[in-house]
Amino acid sequence: MPDAISSPRAANLAWFALTILCLVAGGLAYLSGAFAFARGVWVAGALPVLMALAVSIVRRLLRRDFGVDVIALLAIGGALLLGEYLAGMVICLMFATGQVLEDYAERRAQREMSALLGRAPRSASRYEGDGLMQVPAEAVAPGDRLLVRGGEVVPVDGYVDSALAVLDESALTGESLPVRRARGELVRGGVINVAAPFDLVARASAADSAYAGIVRLVAAAQRAKAPSTRLADRYALFFVLLTLAAAGAAWAVSGDVVRALAVLVVATPCPLVLAVPIAIIAGMSRCAARGIVVKSGGMLERLAQGRVLFFDKTGTLTSGRARLVALEAAADFDPAEVLRLAASLEQASPHVLAEAIVSFARQRGLRLAVPADIHEEHGAGLVGTIGKRRVAVGSHAYICGHAASADWVDGLRKRMSYEGAAGVFVAIDGKLAGALLLGDEVRLETPHALRQLRKAGIERVVMVTGDHRDVADSIGDALGVDVVLAEQAPADKLAAIEASRRHAVTIMVGDGINDAPALASADVGVAMGARGAAASSEAAGIVLLTDRLDRLAEALAIAQRTRRIALESAVAGMAMSAACMIVAAFGWLAPLAGAIVQEGIDVLVIVNALRALRAPPAAAGTPARLDPADASRLMHEHNELGSILDRIRACADRLPALADAGANIELAEVDALVRERLLAHEEDDERVLYPRLERILGGDDPLAALNRTHREIRRLARLFHRLTRDAQSLPVLPADTVRELQRILYGLDAILRLHFAQEEELYHTLAEVA
């Protein structure tokens, strides 16, 4: 709706009531024979709308902003000048009706956001001494122990300190089902406890909690400028000139000015002016319901046109948090006991890796002891007493000051460098007991999200990171991104995005302060998470309130559907109006009848635009059948690759007995077979075969498990290639290298055989479906 009637909602309802009242009152007076009074009532109802339109157009022109509402001004003014008072009143009702419908869409959008604001926690139950004290949420400090009763909102971020918590996280994540959180798991403020009371240890104050950041973002989005109507304004000048030309031609040819008025009446641009912003507002509402804050309608439109996607690695494609990924224990130590003792000692350290180790041990259900006699060397490690045992944890150099190194350490450190993992070594009673490997794991939803984004039309995926090349390539290979840009400073990220923007609409996804320049430079900046004070959230045009990358795929799908509905509504409305203009130009449609027809067109296109509020209908089913000839061909390919699997297993079996030169030749040949045959086969499956199977199977990502297996195959193949390449330069293969090569080869053999069996069963099942 144009600015002319963009007053508060109560005033809009008053305008709507006034136009109806004047239209009905004038109609009754006309039917009773009081023709002059009826005309006066209609003029009295139309003049305020005419004046408001005139003021709006002048204001827009002063801003050098040209819109299509000039047609409405001419139509209403012309109707009054030519004595078509009822037609003018109907046009006014058309505008008032459109405003009420737009208000409805805005209320739906704000309802999703206001639900977040209304759930902001106000108070907390804090343990003090032997009892509980009700305190304001702002008074909670990190380390406070709180009680969260059933039905209460969790006041701050914290860790569960009871056996179990069952939570409604829908306000933050959009997930409708309750979520179970075990002892030691992180819970974010703003979620609701839907089961028994539980204890919570505060991790942050209320102001620093995730929910407070969400509230700040939502409040800023509500204060922001109304969604852009740029999509409508692109056609404004063309449509105005077309309308004026048609009206002028009708008048010139017929000599009847009423025909020109009829053309203007049916050209009144409500379909163009209303349909686009209503659809965009509706799309923003859908995004808000899924935990996605879109700061402007123009941003939603640009997202729909995105074709190139840049991802930061840490915190975006990966979790951004250290997690224990492997535990290595010496032969005479129990791995669980090594973890328990290390985690018990790490409770005394503020280091981020210490937090990850303690959290992992608690998730395993280990009972941690209180450390004593602690001595810490910052940045290196710490030593202390756990029960009757003396334990040291830290870097390899630090541990060597407390225990002798071991033969297996060199191989482990090489593996750490390949995988980009950090190692925390553990010594117990003066002996090297093991090592804990920590890494930044790929998010569980990342592979699925990338596949969904490609389906939605993303043509090129680029991973940009400041990490070393080896680490970046490892993650990029596992995820199948198109380009990996490693060792990038913020200025380098900015340059890469600016270069991409010259060729296609570019989306940048990041979460760190160093991503802020790139987020601001991209056509669409998307920030992960809800830390309202973070520079990334401030610079981005879209913020995912929950740290789930698959929400970006949802946002893209919503944006594309919203833009499609907006274009459908605008184009269909203009086409129907153009057809009516032709009819009116020939004198077959009077101004009053044209106004009524145009009102019907308005209702149709606005109702269509409101479809963007609803979730899209389920995709139509596809025939659940694979051609038997295709199934036979695929199984034949597996049979041909079977000889390579046999070669992998044979190489692993006899590797220790081979002479060093023979071992290097055998390893190089197997490596070439794996990379040139097996990996090529798996990549072809993902690119060509799996999309066909997904269409047959239906549902949401039906081949997620098989795609996950492909990632593990690529990871093992990359490790094997690196070890094989390094072995070529060694005169003698160390025993630990031989064992690591055997471990990888046996793993590849097992996972490939299982994967082939799963695929063959799937092919056979789909080929047998009638």
As annotated, the active-site residues are 312
Whether residue 436 contacts residue 357, with contact meaning beta carbons closer than 8 Å, is answered with: yes
Q: Is 546 helix (H, G, I), strand (E, B) or coil?
A: coil
Planar angle of CA 696, 698, 702, nearest 5 degrees: 100
CA dist 197 and 177 (Å) reads 19
Name the residue type at position 131: G
> φ and ψ at 654, to 5 degrees?
-105, 5
| CA-closest candidate to residue 386, choices 409, 361, 399, 368 | 368
Whether residue 402 contacts residue 432, with contact meaning beta carbons closer than 8 Å, is answered with: no
For 65-90, the three-class secondary structure string (H helix, E strand, C coil) is CCCCHHHHHHHHHHHHHCCCHHHHHH
CA dist 736 and 328 (Å) reads 13
| Angle between helix 660-673 and helix 628-654 axes, rounded to 10 deg | 170
Span between the terminal Cα atoms of the chain, in Å:
53
Whether residue 326 contacts residue 743, with contact meaning beta carbons closer than 8 Å, is answered with: no
Q: Which residues, other chains included, contact 408 with Cβ-Cβ below 8 Å and sequence gap of 6+? A: 328, 330, 736
Whether residue 281 contacts residue 109, with contact meaning beta carbons closer than 8 Å, is answered with: yes
CA dist 55 and 515 (Å) reads 43
Residue 706 vs residues 225, 448, 755, 762: alpha-carbon distances, Å: 45, 11, 7, 11
Residue 40 vs residues 27, 37, 43, 86, 593: alpha-carbon distances, Å: 11, 5, 5, 10, 21
Whether residue 515 contacts residue 531, with contact meaning beta carbons closer than 8 Å, is answered with: no
Beta strands in 372-482 (DSSP E): 372-377, 381-386, 389-394, 422-428, 431-442, 460-464
| Angle between helix 69-81 and helix 35-62 axes, rounded to 10 deg | 150
**CA quadruple 22, 24, 25, 26: dihedral positive or negative?**
positive
Residue 157 vs residues 179, 203, 253, 263, 288: alpha-carbon distances, Å: 16, 6, 74, 62, 22
CA dist 73 and 187 (Å) reads 56
CA dist 317 and 447 (Å) reads 9
Burial class (CB in 10 A: 0-12, 13-18, 19+), 688: exposed
Q: Which residues, other chains included, contact 725 with Cβ-Cβ below 8 Å and sequence gap of 6+? A: 671
Whether residue 38 contacts residue 239, with contact meaning beta carbons closer than 8 Å, is answered with: no
Count of CA atoms in the C-beta half-sphere (13 A) of 550: 15
**How many H-runs (helices) and E-runs (strands) does the chain carry?**
28, 22
How is 326-379 classified by DSSP, letter by letter?
A: EEEE-TTS-HHHHHHHHHHHHTT---HHHHHHHHHHHHTT--PPPPEEEEEETT
Q: Which two tokens stand for residue 326?
A: 């492997």
CA dist 88 and 50 (Å) reads 10
| CA-closest candidate to residue 350, choices 206, 547, 142, 209 | 142
